[in-house]
A and B are shown apart, each in its own frame.
Chain A
Amino acid sequence: MVKREIDERITETKRTVASQTCGILLWGILVLLLYRQFYLKQSFTQYADLFILWLFASAYLSLGTTLMGVRPFDRPFGKAIIVPVIISVTILIVNIYQSTISTFLEGFQVLVVAFVSALVCLSLFKLLYTRWEKKNIKED
């Protein structure tokens, strides 16, 4: 019989397990990338293919959920600014650790570029979600 394909419990179970598997894969690939860069000290070209795959999958996951009506962050946008701050500081620390910057000006540039990039991404997600909300949610 064809029941298995339309049984909601089976569909739900498969979705849950697939989602968990996706999470394992994404985190696992991230760990591999960090291992290759920081422990094996490989050049970017040696793991660029894996990085591109991870980047695309992560972007698809984030954009996909936002475009389907999942709020990108729960706190007000003003408080969500903390995320770009954390990201930019983390990138700065990593660069200092890897000795890729040697002056205050270089450090400041890295900080600004990382912060602005993260802020642009945050704003993009906010904008996409707001558009979805206006299109799909009718106010009383």
Chain B
Amino acid sequence: MGEDFLIGNNIRLARVEKGYTQQELADLVSVTRQTIGLIEAQKYNPSIFLCLKLSHTLDKRLDDLFWKEGNNG
């Protein structure tokens, strides 16, 4: 631990399944649309708090939504 890594995620897919735009999802989890976009582009690692909010909002299990990049897709 300690090395830099990115968190892979299925946020975009899960969001589209629920019919949310980026802005709508951002409003639901109290972040900006830009942050959602960066998370989906895997350019920002969300905190565990935000990860839990997203999984709860998108009705997905945490490990179905997020993984350490390189392990799963």
Give the distance to chain A from B66, nearest Cβ to Cβ, in Å.
15
Contact mask A1-37 → B, CB, 8 Å, 1/0?
1011011111000000000000000000000000000
A residues near B26, Cβ cutoff 8 Å: 3
Number of interface residues of A (CB under 8 A): 8
Check A8–B32 contact: CB distance below 8 A.
no
At the interface, is chain A mostly helix, strand, loop or mixed? helix
Tally the A-B contacts, defined by beta carbons under 8 Å: 28
The CA of A105 and the CA of B50, in the complex, are separated in Å by 63
Q: Shortest Cβ distance from A78 into chain B, in angstroms?
A: 25
Q: Does B42 contact A (CB under 8 A)?
A: no
B32 adjacent to A10 (CB under 8 Å):
yes
For residue B44, CB closer than 8 A to chain A, the reply is yes
Q: Cβ of B38 and Cβ of A9 under 8 Å apart?
A: yes
| Chain B residues in the interface with A (C-beta under 8 A) | 26-27, 30-32, 34-35, 38, 44, 46-47, 49-50
**Apart from the given pairs A8-B31, A9-B31, 12 other A-B contacts in the complex at a CB distance below 8 Å:** A3-B26, A3-B27, A3-B30, A4-B32, A6-B31, A7-B32, A7-B35, A8-B35, A9-B32, A9-B34, A9-B35, A9-B44
Sample of 9 A–B contacts (CB below 8 Å): A1-B27, A3-B32, A7-B31, A7-B35, A8-B47, A9-B32, A9-B34, A9-B38, A10-B32
